[in-house]
Amino acid sequence: MNLHKRARLTPRGRALLVQRMLTGLRAEDAAHAVGVSVRTAYKWLRRFREEGESGLLDRSSRPHSCPHGTSSDQVAQLIQLRRSRHTYRQIAQVLGVAVSTVARRLKQACVHRLAELERAPVVVRYEYPNAADLLHLYIKKLGRFWRPGHRVTGDRQQGCDGAGWEFVQVAIDDASRLAFTSLHPDERGSSACRALLQAVRYYRGLGIRFERVMTDNGACYRSHSFRRLCARLALKHIRAKPYTPRTNGKAERFIQTSLHE
């Protein structure tokens, strides 16, 4: 525990005070030498005799007992009622305690949110068995550099203002993890269409003709031009579930691995 700013004695100073008193120095003289009261000197001497050197350490200001505090039985009832989906106010009315007490105790037990009472959903991992079954398409926004950045120079003050952005479209086969990337100036629907065409041509050169393409819900993938292109290429367009990036996690994992390496 950290000492407060106005502490007269550290644990080492308290040990020195006790040592002087045990060697025969009067409590008044020992207390005067270190700038504390006689009562304080006797307090440290008593704690040393009862607990040894550990008694000279700082303690919490929390009281040893709190008769008016929430009992363990009440806390157990709080948690049980909360697991039955009762609200804070309902629990307070049933047990006759304050709503703030209910909130504090439930937070300490990590059951203050209803979402924490639900079972974690089972992770469903999917993988198509054959190449060409599913193509993941994902976009990554990267800053453009016209000179070395802070990762090279170590200077964060000198930025590259006005350099702009570049957009990398990543295509990856679900089964084989064979990837293809293309660089584009923006993230519009026309750029997404060009990225899909380039990826399809690349994979067809390897003898792979896809049946499905999965993207997120970005505006470029929801555009009419991208929808028409998927229909022309006979690709079934699958969109990832909103706010669930792990659905398209293979593409995201490829991007992070590429950035780190």
pLDDT in tens, 242-257: 888 778 888 888 888 8
Q: What percent of the chain has pLDDT over 70?
A: 95
Q: What is the pLDDT of residue 88?
A: 93
Q: What is the pLDDT of residue 68?
A: 81
Q: Label residue 162 by pLDDT band (50, 70, 90).
A: low
Q: Round the average pLDDT of the chain to a whole number and report it.
A: 88
- Domain limits, the chain: 11-56, 72-117, 135-152+161-260
Q: What is the pLDDT of residue 26?
A: 93
Please indicate whether residue 12 or residue 62 has the higher confidence score (pLDDT): 12
Instruction: Write out the E strands in the chain.
Output: 135-143, 165-173, 179-184, 212-215, 236-239
Given a contact cutoff of 8 angstroms between Cβ atoms, the answer to whether 228 and 221 are in contact is no
Q: What is the pLDDT of residue 125?
A: 74
C-alpha span between 38 and 91 (Å, rounded): 50
What does pTM read for this prediction? 0.55
- The mean pLDDT of 229-238, rounded to a whole number, is 95
Q: Tokens in use for 188?
A: 């519009």
Class of 135-152+161-260 in CATH: alpha beta
Q: What is the pLDDT of residue 250?
A: 85
Measure the CA angle with vertex 13, ends 7 and 18; round to 5°: 120
Q: What is the pLDDT of residue 33?
A: 92
Please indicate whether residue 168 or residue 154 has the higher confidence score (pLDDT): 168
